[in-house]
Amino acid sequence: MSRKHLTRRRIIKAGALGVVATAARAGCGETQVVTETKVQEIIKEVPVEKVVTQEVVKEVVVEKEVVVEVEKEKVVEVEVETERVVTQTVEVEVEKVVTVQSRVSRAEAVNLSVLTHWGSEQSVALWHDILDEYEAAVPNARIEYQTVPGSQMLTRITTGHAAGNFPDMYHYYNLWTPDFAPTGFMAEVPTEIKSVIDENWAQSAIDGASYRGKLWGYPTESNAYLTLYNKRIFDEAGVDEPPTTWDEMLETAARTTKSSNGAIEQAGYLWFMASTSAFIHPWISYLWSNGGEYLDPGTLKLRLNEPPAVETAQMGVDMIEQGSVDLAFRPPDFMSGNVAMFVGANWRGGPLRTGFADGFENVGVGPIPAGPSGTAGVSLAYNWLWGVDSLTKNSDASWDFLEWVNSPRGPGQASPQGEFMSTRFNIIPSRLSDQEALAERLSDDFFRPFIQAIQEGSRPQPIMPGVSEVTDILHKQLQAVYFGESEPQAALDKVVEDGNAIIEERMQA
């Protein structure tokens, strides 16, 4: 009997047998911290560089052999399977696991407290979840969550600090930094944490959390101002695009206003006079968009009575006199579909997504219109940050917590802080890896213009001594202008006179 061998091959993947070792060390996006004795380590995974290593893969090769037998004019095929093992070494990419060391002994019980202005039931519940997560990872830590309304935050911090009744950590408005830093309220950011922030945060956010060349906390959020408008109202009025100049804005406001018996039922524009920041931030955006300046950075003298500023104040008067504004209207009137447009921050997207009467798809976002003395719209951007009280006895433990809450939960994931800000408030996180991890959420038609404005067309409000008092003076004087009690030039002259006196007094102090 003669034989002829015909071979067919199939491969069965058995899987990896080798174990890939990863190097656990501090670095690569996290800074190594020098610790005291009896220090234990917290291990957390963060998005870091890839490492190329080798992995041994075993494959079982099954050869199916067809044996052809020829015997007495009869052909018979018989399949016979035999196995052999083939091993190969391949290069694979794995992510490093980074070890971040604690500044305090894990054997010591630590009771901490934080103060924020996030006091709604939903916000408190989310923060309790975050704190529970941290306490599970750090069993010896207990954190008390305190909250007051934003309007009371500054008073609570200053009076509490003076009386010795203060939390370990605050989440505060960056414009308060000139009041805190020189008086010793806040601790400067430790060097090793500053290096992490310098590498992983947007520069505009770092600038907003800095004062006199020093960084005073973890920047948490970036907010910019743009024109928010009701697409339904624009469509009904035959307005195709949001305005890009003041002339277009006044014309659009007139076309979208509806009145009955001398009373405005649908306002073409909203000036929200009751809130200092909600009024002054848009006003400063218009000032910059008209080529004006708030402050001379060299002399720290106010420039709020120069022609571009006077034109900005007059623009508001013109809009009121043409009958497009009712100063009694508030943001809820935009929510209910009774205001065509106003200038608002990106955090307003949170309530608009769920409560806008005409549906969130009818919320449009446009630029800040440029004034006659300007060339392009400029958006004011502001920041909030986490800081540590300089008098706390738990400084190391406080920075430990803030490092944890502002670090990614794992590879490709957002930090607890970034997740909270973007989910709860429609706010853009300041940490760049948070923006990457939350890119899908931050790329819709509402978010996209704000991110572009923050990156390309925004400026921070000047941080200077006495800025809170100066802002209050500006607010009160512009209120007098818009209620017909003062002329723009006279009101702004008063702002500059009183404001410069305050700045000089704070500088001497």
Instruction: Identify the structural domains of the chain with CATH numbers, from first to last.
Output: 2-99 (no CATH), 109-223+382-460 (3.40.190.10), 225-381+461-508 (3.40.190.10)
| Residue 331 CA neighbour count, 13 Å, CB half | 16
**SS3 call for 48:** coil
Q: Is the pLDDT of residue 356 over 60?
A: yes
Q: Is the CB of residue 291 less than 8 Å from the CB of residue 285?
A: no
pLDDT band at 416 (very low <50, low <70, confident <90, very high): very high
Q: Is the pLDDT of residue 305 over 70?
A: yes
User: Comparing 111 with 426, which gets the higher pLDDT?
Assistant: 111
**SS3 call for 483:** coil
- Residue 482: count other Cβ atoms within 10 Å of its Cβ: 20
The reported pLDDT for the residue numbered 13 is: 27
Instruction: List the alpha helices (DSSP H) in 267-373.
Output: 276-289, 307-321, 331-335, 349-355
- What average pLDDT does the segment 400-422 reach? 96
The reported pLDDT for the residue numbered 283 is: 98
Poorest-confidence range of 47-56, 106-115, 222-231, 454-463?
47-56
Q: Is the pLDDT of residue 9 over 80?
A: no
The reported pLDDT for the residue numbered 472 is: 94
The reported pLDDT for the residue numbered 307 is: 98
pLDDT band at 181 (very low <50, low <70, confident <90, very high): confident
- What average pLDDT does the segment 393-403 reach? 96
Q: Is the pLDDT of residue 190 over 70?
A: yes
Amino acid present at 65: E
Q: Specify which of 27-41, 174-188, 234-248 reaches the highest per-range mean pLDDT.
A: 234-248
d(CA 178, CA 502): 13
The reported pLDDT for the residue numbered 461 is: 84
The reported pLDDT for the residue numbered 106 is: 53
Q: Is the CB of residue 268 less than 8 Å from the CB of residue 326?
A: no
**SS3 call for 415:** coil
Q: Is the pLDDT of residue 121 over 80?
A: yes
What's the Cα-to-Cα distance from 180 to each of 205, 430, 487, rounded to whole Å? 18, 22, 35
Q: Is the pLDDT of residue 11 over 90?
A: no
The reported pLDDT for the residue numbered 24 is: 31
Beta strands 74-95; 50-71: pairing state: antiparallel
- Average pLDDT over the chain, rounded to an integer: 82
Q: Is the pLDDT of residue 247 over 70?
A: yes
**Sheet strands side by side (includes 97-101):** 24-25, 97-101, 41-44
d(CA 462, CA 191): 25
The reported pLDDT for the residue numbered 404 is: 97
Amino acid present at 425: F
The reported pLDDT for the residue numbered 508 is: 84
Instruction: Detail the DSSP E strand segments found in 347-402.
Output: 363-366, 379-388
Using only C-alpha atoms, the chain has a radius of gyration, in whole angstroms, of 31
Poorest-confidence range of 359-368, 420-429, 478-487, 489-498?
420-429
Short-list 305, 285, 293, 294, CA closest to 379: 285
Q: Check residue 318 and report its DSSP letter.
A: H
